Amino acid sequence: MFRFGILSTAKIGRDLVVPAIQDAENCVVSAVASRDLSKARAMADRFSAPHAFGSYEEMLASDTIDAVYIPLPTSQHVEWTIKAANAGKHVLCEKPIALRASEIDQLIAARDRNKVLIAEAFMVTYSPVWRKVRSLLEEGAIGRLRHVQGAFTYFNRDPGNMRNIPALGGGGLPDIGVYPTITTRFVTGKEPVRVQASTDRDPEFGTDIYSSVRADFGDFELSFYISTQLAARQVMVFHGDKGFIEVKSPFNADRYGREEVELTNQNHAQSQLFRFQDARQYKLQAEAFARAAKGEQEEVVTLENSRLNQKFIDAIYRASDKDGWEKI
């Protein structure tokens, strides 16, 4: 059984990822680390993990784990990913794994030097929802793809939330802007060439709270908006000359609605609805990561892929400070 250690007791780990690992067929949570041993012990007991550590370093030095899952604040991802890799542990790190594309070069070097697997936790790429969208596009179900349209919004003005704290890597683009970009790239296999964007920042927090983006992929365009201060909404639509595909709750189906993909034909006279009952993308992510770490053939999000996605986000920030197109 592949053994995960959890680096911190962060909410996303407690609520989503750790339960999924425990439910997976080929891996288990073996340890929890926190700077507060009592918190680590409480979380370890909750999930029946046998080991608890009062420091991250102590867990990394332990032989009770094979890999580390990192749900720390974004600003700490690069530092602790490298430390875990240097300790000989495989790493599954929450997105975004870095705040600049150039930082990922350090992670690639650490991966290669230590011969471990490092992957960014884009759970959507393991979901049968997005694999279905990819197969429909590959089959030519909507003909020539011309436009992708997306939105991802929620409302959060909690000053204590890391998403609203610049020093912790807060902001809308790092938190949710990465989803329209990674999913479009994942299902099309294409990379953007240039981008236009506008971004608003919160006058109190200083974080980016709204972005409207137009990206040129050569054969098609992607337009999307994201916000941390709008009513909650998620949607992705892939529009071709023979039909279109709508992903109803593309990123967080448990909170935004059903996991459904609808394919509609050219004259809107016929549609097919593909439903995915309890797709459990976090569980699938853990299982795929464990197989890949053991050397089995498995599709995971490589650091090279992560670098391309972050390069896209970096360009959105640059484009937001100018009129016209910005090269990616």
Cα–Cα distance between 79 and 169 in angstroms, integer?
13
141 DSSP assignment? T
d(CA 184, CA 188): 6
228 touches 211 (CB < 8 A): no
User: Which candidate in 95, 132, 248, 283 is catalytic?
Assistant: 95
Lowest mean pLDDT among 12-21, 61-70, 282-291, 297-306: 12-21
pLDDT of residue 302: 98
Average pLDDT value for residue range 213-236: 97
Q: Which pLDDT value is given to residue 11? A: 83
Over residues 94-120, the mean pLDDT reads 98
The neighbouring-strand residues paired with 92 are 69, 119
**pLDDT at residue 10 tops 90:** no
Chain centre to alpha carbon of residue 84: 20
pLDDT score recorded for residue 9: 86
Whether residue 236 is predicted with pLDDT greater than 90 in this model: the reply is yes
Secondary structure of residue 200 in the 3-state scheme:
strand
**Spatial separation of the C-alpha atoms in residues 229 and 238, rounded to whole Å:** 25
| Amino acid identity for residue 160 in this structure | G
Residue % of the chain over a pLDDT of 70:
100
DSSP H helices, 13-101, are: 18-23, 37-46, 56-60, 77-86
- Cα gap 57→314, rounded to integer Å: 31
Q: Residue 184: which residues within 8 A CB-CB, separation 6 or more?
A: 148, 150, 190, 217, 222, 236
| Mean pLDDT to the nearest integer, 268-283 | 92
pLDDT over threshold 90, residue 243: yes
Which pLDDT does position 75 carry in this prediction?
96
Does 95 qualify as catalytic in the annotation?
yes
- Give the pLDDT score at 253: 72
Confidence of residue 198 (pLDDT cuts 50, 70, 90): very high
The whole-number average pLDDT for the span 111-119 is 98
Short-list 233, 236, 216, CA closest to 224: 236
What single-letter DSSP state applies at residue 173?
Answer: I
Task: Share the mean pLDDT of the chain.
Answer: 96
Which helix H or strand E contains 182, and what residues bound it? helix 178-188
Euclidean distance between CA atoms 33 and 71, whole angstroms: 11
pLDDT attached to residue 117: 98
Confidence of residue 108 (pLDDT cuts 50, 70, 90): very high
Query: For position 12, what pLDDT does the model report?
Result: 84
- Better pLDDT: 200 or 252: 200
Q: 179 vs 60, 114, 185, CA distance in Å?
A: 30, 29, 10
pLDDT in tens, 149-162: 999 999 999 999 99
Asked if pLDDT for residue 254 goes beyond 90, the answer is no
Taking only the tens place, the pLDDT of each residue in 28-56 is 999 999 999 999 999 999 999 999 999 99
Tell me how far apart the alpha carbons of residues 72 and 84 are, in angstroms, rounded to a whole number. 13
Mean pLDDT in residue range 209-234: 98
Q: Report the C-alpha gap between 67 and 306 in whole angstroms.
A: 19
- For residues 156-177, average pLDDT: 96
Q: What is the mean pLDDT of residues 199-216?
A: 98
**Local confidence band at 277 (pLDDT 50, 70, 90 cut-offs):** confident
Q: Is the pLDDT of residue 13 over 90?
A: no
User: 83: Cβ–Cβ under 8 A, 6 or more apart, which residues?
Assistant: 56, 57, 60
